[in-house]
C-alpha cells in the first residue's frame, strides 16, 4: 500500500486485481467443495486411501513457500546471492510439486481410481488438477522473476518490489489452497 497526498491508504491496482483473481479462484474451489459434499452425500461414494505422495507434496509446497518468502526478504534486505538462489530453489520445489502430483495421480490410477468410475475419483482429479493449473501460473510468475533476477542489474525499486510481492502473495495463496484441499480430501474421502 502507498499513501497518496490525502494520507489515505491506497492499494496498488495490480495488487487489487491479483486479490480479485485470488478471490475468484477461492470461490471456484468453494463451489467444488460444496459439490463434493453434495455428491458424497448421495451414498454412492467410493472410499480410497490417498497416495503417500500427497503427504510429501504438502511438505514440498510448504517448503517452497518458505524459500520464496525468505528470497523476498533477502531481495528487500540487499542479500542478492541469497535472494537469487532461494528463488531458484523455490522454482525447483514448485516443479517437484507438479511432478509429485503426476506420480500421485499415477498411483491413484493404479489403485483403480479413475475418471470413469465413481464420482469420488473424478472429483479428486478435478480438484487436484485445477489446483495444478494454478501452480503452473505461479511457476510462470516465478520463472519471470528468475529471468529478471539473473539478467537485470540488482536494484530494489518500488516496481520490482511490488512484482515480487504479488508473486509471493499468489504463491502463498496456492500453497494454502493446497493444504486446504489436502485436508479436505484426507478427512472426507
pLDDT in tens, 156-173: 888 899 999 999 999 999
More confident: 41 or 88: 88
Cβ neighbours of residue 150 closer than 8 Å, sequence gap 6 or more: 84
State the Cα–Cα distance between residues 90 and 19, nearest whole angstrom.
22
Candidates 162, 135, 142; CA nearest to 68 is 142
Instruction: Compute CA distances 146 → 4, 34, 83, whole Å.
Output: 31, 37, 10
pLDDT at 156: 87
pTM: 0.87
Q: For residue 20, how many C-alpha atoms fall within 13 Å in the half-sphere facing its CB? A: 7
pLDDT at 63: 98
Backbone angles phi, psi at 9, to 5 degrees: -70, 140
Please report, rounded to a whole number, the percentage of residues in the chain having pLDDT higher than 70.
95
For the chain, the average pLDDT equals: 89
pLDDT at 6: 54
Report the 10 Å Cβ neighbour count for 92. Answer: 14
pLDDT in tens, 60-115: 999 999 999 999 999 999 999 999 999 999 999 999 999 999 999 999 888 888 77
Please report, rounded to a whole number, the percentage of residues in the chain having pLDDT higher than 90.
65
In order of start, what are the domains of the chain with their CATH numbers? 50-188 (1.20.120.80)
Place of cell 498411483: 107
Mean predicted confidence (pLDDT) in 13-19: 87
pLDDT at 135: 97
Helix crossing, 158-188 with 119-151: angle to 10°? 160
pLDDT at 23: 93
Mean predicted confidence (pLDDT) in 48-64: 94
Q: 97-111 burial string, b = 16+ CB within 10 Å, else e?
A: beebbebbbebbeee
Mean predicted confidence (pLDDT) in 4-9: 56
| Cell matching residue 68 | 520464496
State the Cα–Cα distance between residues 40 and 188, nearest whole angstrom.
9
Q: How far is CA 152 from the centre of its chain?
A: 26
pLDDT in tens, 122-138: 888 999 999 999 999 99
Alpha helices, H only, 46-157 = 52-76, 80-110, 119-151
Amino acid at each position: 500500500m502507498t499513501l497518496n497526498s490525502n494520507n489515505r491508504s491506497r492499494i496498488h491496482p495490480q495488487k487489487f486485481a491479483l486479490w480479485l483473481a485470488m478471490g475468484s479462484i477461492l470461490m471456484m474451489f468453494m463451489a467444488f467443495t460444496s459439490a463434493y459434499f453434495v455428491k458424497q452425500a448421495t451414498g454412492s461414494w467410493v472410499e480410497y486411501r490417498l497416495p503417500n505422495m500427497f503427504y510429501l507434496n504438502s511438505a514440498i509446497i510448504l517448503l517452497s513457500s518458505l524459500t520464496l518468502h525468505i528470497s523476498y526478504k533477502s531481495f528487500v534486505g540487499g542479500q542478492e546471492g541469497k535472494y537469487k538462489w532461494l528463488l531458484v530453489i523455490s522454482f525447483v520445489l514448485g516443479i517437484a510439486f507438479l511432478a509429485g502430483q503426476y506420480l500421485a495421480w499415477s498411483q491413484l490410477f493404479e489403485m483403480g481410481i479413475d475418471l470413469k468410475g465413481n464420482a469420488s475419483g473424478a472429483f479428486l482429479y478435478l480438484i487436484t488438477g485445477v489446483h495444478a493449473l494454478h501452480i503452473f501460473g505461479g511457476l510462470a510468475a516465478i520463472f519471470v522473476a528468475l529471468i529478471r533476477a539473473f539478467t537485470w542489474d540488482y536494484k530494489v525499486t518500488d516496481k520490482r518490489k511490488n512484482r515480487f510481492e504479488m508473486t509471493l502473495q499468489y504463491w502463498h495463496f496456492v500453497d494454502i489452497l493446497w493444504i486446504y484441499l489436502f485436508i479436505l480430501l484426507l478427512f472426507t474421502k
